[in-house]
Each structure stands twice: as structure tokens, then as C-alpha cells.
């Protein structure tokens, strides 16, 4: 009996957090069934959680089917932690428009659209700016590209440093505005 109580206390105190893209799955791909099974076995001993830059629906596509994800993990931190779930319930949601204000948000979006309009790429697809609760996901090729097109862009980006230059331009344009810019995987 005492061992069971101690095991339950240990489970409550330990949280193993895993990144989604590039750790649990290749970027934007589904989780391997063996990895999923391992995580559920681990969950019997400790609490487990996932954190990802994507919104909840994209994390759910990668790690399970719909609301199954918030049942399979004790914690889900979507959109880089700005949307938080604990034991299947929404805990908190931060919004970029509340943080930045509408004027700065529009300045940022307009700058990005203007910058990307001038880029010459082999291909461009839809959804260049994905508006999420706590961030903007900006994609010069477009989020609607296929995996093959994403790989092609990634190879070009390694040579031309397209995203690196874009981030540098954003940092210059919005210096002192309290914004952070980063590049994702591939």
C-alpha cells in the first residue's frame, strides 16, 4: 500500500515534456506507433506532456486523432506554450493581438506580406501568414506546400539563407518593439 502511494506521489511530481516537430515526429509528420506506445507506457509512471509551435489541431494530426491527444497526454502546450491544456481541459490562452495591439500587429503583417511579395522562389503556395492565438507563423513558400516542395525550399534556403535574411529584416524593422523572431525547423 505504501509503495502504491509513493508511486502515485512520484507520478504527480515528475513531468516529462517532449517537443513535437523534430523530436517525437519528423517535422509535420505523424508519430511512429512504437513511439506512441512507449509514451503511453511512460505515462503509467510519470506525467507526460508535449510542446509544439503548431496550433492544437496540427499537433492532434501528428500525435493522434482529434481530442484523443488531450486524453493521451497530461499536458499539451500548443503554439509555443501560449495555449495550455492540463488533463484534457484548457487552462490558459494568450493572444498576440492582446499582447501587441492591433496597430503593431497590422504593421508586422503588412511588412511580412510586402517582403514576401518581392521574393523570387521556384514555387509559392497558399497560407503565407498563419494567424495563431499567440504567434504568427510566417512561411515564404506557404504552409500549403507539399512535403516535396517543403524539402525543395529547405535545400534552397540552406544555400540562399532566405529565412535568416527575413528574420534579420524583421529584427531591424521592429527593433525596440518587444518582438521576438525565430526560424523553425527546415
What pLDDT is attached to residue 133? 87
Question: Does one domain contain both 50 and 106?
Answer: no
What pLDDT is attached to residue 118? 98
Question: Does one domain contain both 44 and 84?
Answer: yes
Active site (annotated) includes residue 19: yes
Active site (annotated) includes residue 74: no
Final residue before a domain boundary, out of 93, 120, 141: 93
Final residue before a domain boundary, out of 93, 122, 153: 93
What pLDDT is attached to residue 96? 92
Question: What percentage of the chain reaches a pLDDT higher than 70?
Answer: 93
185 confidence band (pLDDT: 50, 70, 90) = low
Q: pTM for the full model? A: 0.72
Contact assessment for residue 178 and residue 15, using Cβ atoms and an 8 Å cutoff: no
**Per-residue pLDDT for 49 more than 90?**
yes
Question: Does one domain contain both 48 and 122?
Answer: no
Question: Does one domain contain both 80 and 100?
Answer: no
Q: How many domains does the chain contain in total?
A: 2
Catalytic residue among 21, 55, 74, 157: 21
Lowest mean pLDDT among 1-15, 63-77, 155-169: 1-15
132 marked as binding residue: yes
Question: Does one domain contain both 12 and 63?
Answer: yes
Q: How many Cβ atoms sit within 10 Å of the Cβ of residue 121?
A: 17
55 marked as binding residue: no
143 marked as binding residue: yes
Question: Does one domain contain both 79 and 158?
Answer: no
Domain span at residue 19 reads 2-93
CA dihedral 51, 172, 141, 61 (to 10 degrees): 10
Amino acid at each position: 500500500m505504501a509503495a502504491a502511494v509513493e508511486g502515485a506521489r512520484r507520478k504527480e511530481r515528475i513531468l516529462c515534456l517532449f517537443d513535437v516537430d523534430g523530436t517525437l515526429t519528423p517535422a509535420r509528420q505523424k508519430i511512429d506507433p512504437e513511439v506512441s506506445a512507449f509514451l503511453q507506457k511512460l505515462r503509467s509512471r510519470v506525467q507526460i506532456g508535449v510542446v509544439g509551435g503548431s496550433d492544437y489541431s496540427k499537433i492532434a494530426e501528428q500525435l493522434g486523432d482529434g481530442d484523443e491527444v488531450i486524453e493521451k497526454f497530461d499536458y499539451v502546450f500548443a503554439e509555443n506554450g501560449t495555449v495550455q491544456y492540463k488533463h484534457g481541459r484548457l487552462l490558459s490562452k494568450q493572444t498576440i493581438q492582446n499582447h501587441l495591439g492591433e496597430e503593431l500587429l497590422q504593421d508586422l503583417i503588412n511588412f511580412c506580406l510586402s517582403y514576401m511579395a518581392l521574393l523570387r522562389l521556384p514555387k509559392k503556395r497558399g497560407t503565407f501568414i498563419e494567424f495563431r492565438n499567440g504567434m504568427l507563423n510566417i512561411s515564404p513558400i506557404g504552409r500549403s506546400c507539399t512535403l516535396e516542395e517543403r524539402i525543395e525550399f529547405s535545400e534552397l534556403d540552406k544555400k540562399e539563407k532566405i529565412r535568416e535574411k527575413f528574420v534579420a529584416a524583421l529584427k531591424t524593422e521592429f527593433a525596440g518593439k518587444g518582438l521576438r523572431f525565430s526560424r523553425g525547423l527546415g
